Amino acid sequence: MLSTKPITPRFGSEIASDFQLADCSELEISELLTLSANRGVLVFRDQTLTPSEQAALAHRLGEPLTFPLNSNGIPKELITIASGPKTREAAGEGWHSDVSSEPRPPSLSILKMATVPESGGDTLFADMSQAFELLSDPLKAFLEPLTARHEPRGHYLFLSGAKAFDALPISDHPVVRIHPTTGKKSLYVNDGFVTRINGLTPRESQSLLKLLYDHIAYTVKTHCRVQWRPNTVVFWDNRSVQHHAAFDYHPEIRLGYRATLRGEQPIASQTDR
């Protein structure tokens, strides 16, 4: 059994530093999937994982998305996360869930940071199951039958290799989804991809989304924070977790590689909609 230390009592765990992802057994793969579903965020320090080994690990854990425009020998299963002196807006700023516009949006993301700034560049994570629990019962009841429109934006057009946004999927997903492993209900709207809540007027949709985004951003008891070191790897479960990269280190360099696993079609918390 893996040796773990909680980041907060309820959310996030750091794995013992002597554990190497490059060498894990099939039993440990199964344990990692269960642990990531239950804890949301897993942190691994001092990992020897190469980009090729990271891609192979992604295949062992699930079905990775592929990104055909990679260069410099980086496997197609990995996205390069890079910022430096010329960067004015870093990828990952703002609370979001990865690529939620996909019909089967991602389950697990696996990010290894190779180069980190001397200070700053942390990633914040928010537990969407706890965020949902903390809402009032009347608001929960109002949200559960709703769906939201998720549309691709920004740099995802380039990463996907598509020639236009029209070539990328647009999806409607439940505002509250059930995690297939834990059975917990989670908020599933994010400012990175959601454009509206279906069935509401534009003003109602905008107001409700602002309320939910403020709740996610400012309810700090649902958060944990990861301070990166070189060769740190972090898993997070996009089905129940949002994240926010702090771009507070300009002009220093921050470089990493992320694999993203395809998940299942989100399960609505009310299946009789």
Interval 235-246: pLDDT, tens:
999 999 999 999
The pairing of strands 176-178 and 185-187 is antiparallel
147 in a domain, yes or no? yes
What is the average pLDDT value for the chain, to the nearest integer?
Answer: 92
77 in a domain, yes or no? yes
204 in a domain, yes or no? yes
How would residue 263 be classed by pLDDT, with cut points 50, 70 and 90? Answer: very high
How would residue 200 be classed by pLDDT, with cut points 50, 70 and 90? Answer: very high
- Report pLDDT for 273: 42
Show the tokens assigned to 91: 């990828």
Mean local confidence (pLDDT), 262-267: 98
Q: Which of 1-10, 97-106, 241-250, 263-272 has the lowest mean pLDDT?
A: 263-272
**How many other CB atoms sit within 10 Å of the CB of residue 180?**
13
Q: Report whether pLDDT(272) > 70.
A: no
Give the integer Cα–Cα distance in Å for 222 and 215. Answer: 10
Q: Report whether pLDDT(146) > 80.
A: yes
Mean local confidence (pLDDT), 212-233: 98
Mean local confidence (pLDDT), 24-44: 98
Instruction: For tokens 């995690």, name the residue.
Output: 179
The residue that leads in pLDDT, 148 or 248, is 148
Show the tokens assigned to 144: 């559960």
- Report pLDDT for 50: 96
CATH number at residue 151: 3.60.130.10
- Report pLDDT for 85: 82
Mean local confidence (pLDDT), 70-84: 85
- Report pLDDT for 210: 98
Q: Report whether pLDDT(141) > 50.
A: yes
Overall number of domains in the chain = 1
Mean local confidence (pLDDT), 117-131: 97
Give the integer Cα–Cα distance in Å for 31 and 126. Answer: 22
Mean local confidence (pLDDT), 118-129: 96
Rg (CA), the chain: 18
> What is the residue range of 164's domain?
4-268
- Report pLDDT for 86: 76
How would residue 94 be classed by pLDDT, with cut points 50, 70 and 90? Answer: confident
Mean local confidence (pLDDT), 246-271: 92
Of all residues in the chain, the percent with pLDDT exceeding 90 is 80
Q: Report whether pLDDT(160) > 80.
A: no
Show the tokens assigned to 202: 């534009």
- Report pLDDT for 1: 82
| pTM of the full structure | 0.93
Mean local confidence (pLDDT), 190-199: 96
273 in a domain, yes or no? no
Give the integer Cα–Cα distance in Å for 119 and 51. Answer: 24
Report the C-alpha dihedral over residues 166, 205, 185, 169, rounded to 10 degrees. 0
